[in-house]
Amino acid sequence: MPVEFKLPDLGEGIHEGEIVEVLVQVGDRVEDGQPVLIVETDKATAEVPAPVTGTVREIRVKPGQTVHVGDVLMVFLKEGESETAAPAPAPAAGPPPKEEVRPAAPAPAKPPAPEAAAPSDGPVPAAPSTRRIARELGVDLRQVPPSGPGGRVTTEDVRAFADRAKKPAAAPEAPPEAEAKPAAPPKTPPLPKLDQAGLVEHVPLRSVRRATAKHLALSWSQIPHVSHMDVADVTELEEFRQKYKKQVEEAGGSLTFTIFMLKAAVSALKRFPRFNSSLDMEAEEILLKHYYNVAVAVDTDRGLIVPVIRDVDRKSILDLSIELKQIAEKAKQNKISLDDLAGGTFTITNIGPLGGTSFNPIINYPQVAILGMARARLQPVVKGDLRNHRTVTRLMLPLNITFDHRVLDGADAARFLTTIVESLENPGNLMLVM
């Protein structure tokens, strides 16, 4: 029978993508696992493999088309199968057997649908991002009923299973007159007819720009943003950076201020763990994460990409210098994978190389804080007190911590940023956490 191939789950929170390229034609023979499509989804490009060995019977998508998880992309014929199944062979000719009369057996009772899949001893088919979500939610993948092709457990399966497990018993329905209707969200007013004033070019909102628009709109609508700012004297840190810059470059890395910020931020996150959390409003819980995966915003010609550096607390300055350079190059070359973007607990964005004195970044939902860095500049700084002071020239780095006011307060932000400033201003202390 023909096999309908639907867009599978491609990673956590991924619901749609754009077809970049169709790699096969109708009539082509394909192997199970052979890439047949390239899909750009949520800032990453992924190859979609064939689910069977056989022949391409039908292609239902084309480049530039937006598809959703569950949409039929292609139809395949399995190897050895024809368009129509062969009819069952007729019974051999001969005298009909005597009919044997037996009492009718009662129909077996239909078993109730199981709430969860029966555990098995083998590994459960699931993407790495799905396994990570399962670990975070405390879900045993063997108990989750799969909905993906070939018995694959998807991220949506895991979240639905977790929601069912923690959902309280349904309360009795209130009488109709007692039901309160929730207020409908305000509708976005239509745009005026802009082309009446002049020529207007229509550019489709696609791929990275569309994903960014949706993600940031979600963050801004859900999180009450508050920012706290400070400056760090990084004069001595810059001297240290210049001293070891060439050595790091020869090892394949790039020693930037962002590298030192990764270590300083993790040191502060350990001291103030709520900055490394997420808020579950439905369960009314703050989820404190005891791992430190820091996302770093990278400017590309396709838009802002935010890859994740995992286990920052376990890596040296040299390790981070090499890894950040490599993953930033992957992002700029459109070779980033979905796993490279998943699992971040805190975000750093450095606008400094492009200029500016300060800015207020938007939190990377579902995180609760983001640290912004502006351009370090030589500035006159007064040292001493009112009676005995002097003016010196120092390299000053503007910093901004934007946080979720539902989880954190201004005093928390001040202490957190002060801890980071102290680490950057005292490279000797920062070396202790490297």
Q: What pLDDT shows up at residue 213?
A: 83
- CATH number for region 2-78: 2.40.50.100
Q: What pLDDT shows up at residue 391?
A: 93
- Nearest-10 crossing angle of helices 257-271, 235-250: 120
- Nearest-10 crossing angle of helices 128-137, 155-166: 10
User: What is the phi-psi region of residue 331: left when phi exceeds 0, alpha when psi lies from -120 to 50, beta otherwise?
Assistant: alpha
What CA–CA distance (Å, rounded) separates 194 from 178? 46
For residue 374, with 0-12 CB atoms within 10 Å meaning exposed, 13-18 middle and 19 or more buried, which class applies?
buried
Phi and psi of 304, rounded to 5°? -80, 120
In the chain, CATH 4.10.320.10 covers: 128-165
In the chain, CATH 2.40.50.100 covers: 2-78
Closest CA relative to residue 371, chosen from 257, 288, 290: 257
Count of helix runs (H) and strand runs (E) in the chain: 9, 19
| 215 is an active site residue | no
Q: What pLDDT shows up at residue 272?
A: 98
Structure tokens at 177: 């007159």
Residues 6+ apart with CB under 8 A from 427: 236, 237, 240
In the chain, CATH 3.30.559.10 covers: 212-431
pTM (predicted TM-score): 0.66
Q: What pLDDT shows up at residue 217?
A: 87
Domain at 128-165, CATH class: few secondary structures
Of all helices (H) and strands (E), which one includes residue 393? strand 389-404
Handedness of CA 66, 69, 75, 79 (dihedral sign): positive
What CA–CA distance (Å, rounded) separates 1 from 27? 16
Please, which residues bridge with residue 381 across strands?
Answer: 392
Contact 13, 69 (CB under 8 A): no
What CA–CA distance (Å, rounded) separates 109 from 107? 6
Q: What pLDDT shows up at residue 86?
A: 43
Low-confidence ranges of the chain (pLDDT < 70): 10-14, 42-43, 82-123, 128-129, 149-150, 166-187, 207, 431-434
What CA–CA distance (Å, rounded) separates 237 from 423? 10
Please, which residues bridge with residue 399 across strands?
Answer: 230, 373
Q: Which of 15, 68, 228, 405 is catalytic?
A: 405
Q: What is the DSSP letter of 219?
A: H
Of all helices (H) and strands (E), which one includes residue 380? strand 377-384
Q: 231-286, pLDDT tens digit by residue?
A: 999 999 999 999 999 999 999 999 999 999 999 999 999 999 999 999 999 999 99
Q: What pLDDT shows up at residue 8?
A: 77
Structure tokens at 257: 């201020």
What CA–CA distance (Å, rounded) separates 308 from 157? 24
CATH architecture of 212-431: 2-Layer Sandwich (3.30)
Closest CA relative to residue 129, chosen from 329, 284, 310: 310
Q: What pLDDT shows up at residue 186?
A: 60
* 164, 169, 174, 179 alpha-carbon torsion, rounded to 10°: -40
What CA–CA distance (Å, rounded) separates 228 from 272? 15
